Every structure is written in structure tokens, then in C-alpha cells.
Amino acid sequence: MLAKRIIPCLDVKNGRVVKGKKFLGLEDVNDPATLGKYYSDEGADELVFYDITASSDERKISLEFVERVAKEINIPFCVGGGINSIEDFTAILRKGADKVSINSAAVLNPSLITEASKKFGAQCVVLSIDAKKNDEGSWSVYIKGGREKTNLDAILWAIEGVRLGAGELVINSIDEDGMKQGYDLELLKRITQSVTVPVIASGGAGSIKHFYQAIDHANVDGILAASVFHYKEIQIKDLKKALKNQGIPIRL
């Protein structure tokens, strides 16, 4: 079995890392390159950076912080936010990122997934899905940083995204984002049972138990978190040791 990945998530706004709850109430945390280096040194397996207002502001992603991060860390990292074209993929990968995450653009232009996958390889194309529970008992896909609801079903969109060429999925629960009450295990399990590519859990980590549950119950390939790492409520080394002790394959 492949080792499970621990992935700090760094939301970037105006060149600074920020964190909120349910995509609201953003607080300043740190500089992206400084925090990225800290996590790299602490034993994170990967990092994800989201320029969280690029799509809603209808602007291109800030490439300046991507280049600075690439110079500071020695682990893979993914970048997302405001990516609308193959040219955007090219620019980000040239600045040193290993993967590119798309969300709003993929919904509005699904062929971008296929085009990017063919040009750069599926391993470079990450489909990020912001999902919120609906009254029908399933989950709706949201775009533009969680601001706009679509008519897409999250599970069906995950399946379609993989068919189009996405090599990895990041599934973020808007309901659980920043709440520290645990991941949406039902949503994650439905998706991991429906696709054959790696699935990364996002939204809801508050304790080491929550990381274990996402792996044990939903069989995710990676666990992404922000607040508990940013505010040092959980240290990555401690988390990895605890998961290892519970029989989870992990890189120490």
C-alpha cells in the first residue's frame, strides 16, 4: 500500500497566507514562502497553495509567491486559483510548481482538464471540488471560492473529472471547512469508491483522530489541513508518529 500523504494547505490572499471558517472571516497567518519552508522542514509530504480570491476577482494567479516557494522547499507542491488556460498551467509549472489545481475553470470549461492532461500528464492536473450538502441528500459543487452554487452533483462531477483526465481529486467540504469537527467521511467514501485516482480529503481537521478516520473509513490517499497546522495545534511529526502507530502506512 502506498504511504498516505500529509498535506498542509495554504490559502493565499494578497500575497499572504490566510485562514477562515466556511470560506469566511479570513485572518492573516504568515508569508507563503516562510510557512512553506517551515512545513517542508517539519516533514510535510506535499503542500497546496490556493490563491483564494483570484477566481472571484476575475484575475490571474499571483506567480510571484510561487517562484519564492519553489526556491525555499524540497517537496512537491500544487498551486491553484484563477487558472483558466493552458498558458496559466505553463506559467505555474515553469515557476516551479509540480501540480496545478483547477476548480471554477474546470466547471466552466471541462475541456481544459483534457487539454492540460494531454499536454502535461494527468499527474499534473488536480481537480479541486468544493462541495456542500444539499436538501436532496447529496452534495452540490460550488465555484468562485465557494461563492457560487452550480447544478453539478459532486460525486458525478468527480467521476466525470477523472474521465476527462484529472490525475488527482481534492475534495473540500464547505460545511466542515475550518470547523475542526472532522472530515465529511460520507462524501469522501462515496468518491473514493467511485474513482480510481488518488483522492485528497480537505475541510474539517481538528484532531489526530480526524486524520485517522479519513484514511480508515474513507480510504483517502492524502489528508489536507490548514488551521491545526498553522496554529501549531498539531505538529506534523507527532501526527505521523500517531498514524504510524495505528498501522497507517506513512513516511516518517
Q: How far apart are the C-alpha atoms of 94 and 220, rounded to whole Å?
A: 29
DSSP 19: E
Give the containing element (helix H, strand E) for 236: helix 236-245
Q: How far apart are the C-alpha atoms of 110 and 107, rounded to whole Å?
A: 6
Helix axes 208-218, 236-245, angle to 10 degrees: 50
Q: Do the Cβ atoms of 40 and 74 come closer than 8 Å?
A: yes
Determine which one of 11, 45, 177, 184 is catalytic: 11
**3-class secondary-structure state, position 70:** helix
A 10 A CB-CB count for 2 gives 8
Residue 11 a catalytic site member: yes
Determine which one of 31, 51, 130, 177 is catalytic: 130
Residue 184 a catalytic site member: no
Task: Catalogue the active-site residues.
Answer: 11, 130
